[in-house]
Amino acid sequence: MATPSNASSASSSTASQRWSSRWLFVLAAAGSAVGLGNIWKFPYIAGENGGGAFVLIYLVCIAAVGIPIMVSEVLMGRQGRSSPIHTMRKLAKASGRSDRWSILGWMGVLAGFLILSYYAVIAGWAVSYIWTSGSGTFDGASAETVIASFDAFLASPMELIAYQTGFMILTIWIVGRGVTKGLETAIRWFMPLMFLLLIALLIYSFNSGGFAQGFAFMFDMKWEAVTADSWLIAMGQAFFTLSLGMGTMMAYGAYVPDDANLGTTVVTIAGLDTLIALAAGLAIFPIVFANGLEVAQGPGLTFVTLPLAFGQMPMGSLFGALFFLLLSFAAITSAISLTEPALAYLVEEYNAKRQRVAITLGVICWVLGLGTVFSFNIWSDVTFVGGLTFFDTVDYFSQNILLPLGGMLITFFAIWLLPKGMVETQLGIEKPIIALVWRLVGGVVAPLGVLAVFLSTVWPMLSGLWQ
């Protein structure tokens, strides 16, 4: 790598890159937002917290929390035209603020890097199950057989490492090729294929015999099931599902064309992300209910319940493989976005070749990910603060500490510290009433919503440590 003194030429090179069109940015950002959580988490929490009532609450939270924070990140990225760290330095200087605000960029880069380290491991599970399911392993299998198969897989560190390695190699190869040849090419292929796979699974689910029950689980208006926790869950999902607080949207925003309307673009991304999450639920739960199985959240649903369900249905091997292919596509589009903030910073700071930086980051991330691999087998008894395993510790610190704090402070900076004219120019705001609404929703409602989520997740941990 070269010395940091060459950063200006690298930065100007980075600033010259653009998405080919507004729609490619929409697909890229939606690909970042649509990940494993959309497919195994959102449909479940919707059904458990009021169905259609929760969906309405979630849409309110998307409008009041998710969209304002995402707009803030993207507008700052487009204004700075650099990596999140350099963008925060530039904007702090332009606003007459301390360059210590660059710590927000560092927090986002660190959070994305930590999440990628374990995300690649879990994505490897999905990749492995494409073959496991497609080969007919689960055809007619009992619940005990499916559970034993998953447990045996997790107990094999070498098998987990093999799939983790393959996933990381593909991720690093894509991001190392740059915005046009790497990110855009991947998005052009993976996103349309993901939509097609989702449609195919929806058709299969519609004919499963449990579609009406699955639809009712997700969309019946069950207001009696809505609690204060439901609102917190909805706000948390609205924040986390859009890949906020990790520098991704700021990094992607640096490549947004000048003529793209940020407001409508972000609304489109949020809408697409929500639509895919709802469609995923309609593809998954009818199959579960058709086989009389219990709904579950997370790995229990994805790697036990669904393989068991597909194994009992006609053409289950084929559609089981398609489901895990869909899951893998969602994972790769999220993974490449998690890599971009750190990669963009190092390329700028050291005027280094993008491919070399990508490989270096990939190796470091792979090594860190071994801690997650071992958390499910040889290190399963090794715990840290609060009795958390290595994987749980990294997940908790990145998801519950770094991301909410970063999201709150980014929105605060964008709305209250950036020059008012700069923000209104970026957003195309001309009417005073629109500017007022933007400052109230983005500068007050959104940060308070994320603060509530932050306190609700951190407080139980702190209380446990004090007792």
192-237 pLDDT tens trace? 888 898 899 899 999 888 899 989 988 999 999 899 889 988 888 8
Class (C level, CATH) for 4-466: mainly alpha
Domain chopping of the chain, boundaries: 4-466
Q: Is 246 helix (H, G, I), strand (E, B) or coil?
A: coil
pLDDT of residue 356: 93
- Answer whether residue 297 shows pLDDT above 80: no
> Burial level of 428, CB count in 10 A (0-12/13-18/19+)?
exposed
Give the confidence band of 1 by pLDDT, cuts at 50, 70, 90. very low
Question: What percentage of the chain has pLDDT greater than the value 90?
Answer: 43
Cα distances (angstroms) measured from residue 246 to each of 46, 49, 147, 249, 342: 25, 27, 34, 8, 10
For residue 459, give both structure tokens: 């407080």
> Burial level of 286, CB count in 10 A (0-12/13-18/19+)?
buried
Residue showing tokens 């997790």: 154
pLDDT of residue 2: 37
Task: Report which of 345, 69, 338 is spatially closest to residue 183, judged by C-alpha positions.
Answer: 338
- Answer whether residue 296 shows pLDDT above 80: no
CA distance 442 to 297: 31
E strands, 29-84, in order: none
Task: Say which residues have a Cβ less than 8 Å from residue 11's Cβ, sequence separation at least 6.
Answer: 82, 86, 348
Task: Report which of 160, 94, 97, 105 is spatially closest to residue 127, judged by C-alpha positions.
Answer: 160
Q: φ and ψ at 266, to 5 degrees?
A: -70, -40
- Answer whether residue 11 shows pLDDT above 80: no
pLDDT of residue 376: 94
Task: Report which of 245, 301, 279, 316 is spatially closest to residue 34, judged by C-alpha positions.
Answer: 279
Query: What is the average pLDDT across 241-254?
Result: 89
Q: Is 178 helix (H, G, I), strand (E, B) or coil?
A: helix
Cα distances (angstroms) measured from residue 297 to each of 46, 69, 188, 336, 345: 11, 27, 30, 25, 36
Q: In one letter, which amino acid is 386?
A: G
Task: Say which residues have a Cβ less than 8 Å from residue 446's Cβ, sequence separation at least 6.
Answer: 64, 65, 68, 69, 411
C-beta separation of 146 from 308 below 8 A:
yes
Give the confidence band of 466 by pLDDT, cuts at 50, 70, 90. low
Task: Report which of 400, 419, 442 is spatially closest to residue 92, judged by C-alpha positions.
Answer: 419
For residue 126, give both structure tokens: 């999905």
- Answer whether residue 16 shows pLDDT above 60: no
Give the confidence band of 164 by pLDDT, cuts at 50, 70, 90. very high
- Answer whether residue 277 shows pLDDT above 90: no
pLDDT of residue 15: 55
Task: Report which of 284, 296, 295, 292 is spatially closest to residue 312, judged by C-alpha positions.
Answer: 292
Query: What is the average pLDDT across 410-439?
Result: 89
- Answer whether residue 247 shows pLDDT above 90: no
Give the confidence band of 152 by pLDDT, cuts at 50, 70, 90. very high
pLDDT of residue 67: 93
DSSP state of 293: P
Give the confidence band of 464 by pLDDT, cuts at 50, 70, 90. low
Query: What is the average pLDDT across 58-66?
Result: 92
Question: What percentage of the chain has pLDDT greater than the value 70?
Answer: 95
pLDDT of residue 87: 93
pLDDT of residue 190: 86
> Burial level of 445, CB count in 10 A (0-12/13-18/19+)?
middle
Give the confidence band of 4 by pLDDT, cuts at 50, 70, 90. very low
Q: Is pTM beyond 0.85 here? A: yes
Query: 13-22, 61-70, 298-307, 318-327 — which is least confidently predicted?
Result: 13-22
- Answer whether residue 440 shows pLDDT above 80: yes
- Answer whether residue 160 shows pLDDT above 90: yes
Task: Write down the mean pLDDT value for the chain.
Answer: 87
- Answer whether residue 362 shows pLDDT above 90: yes
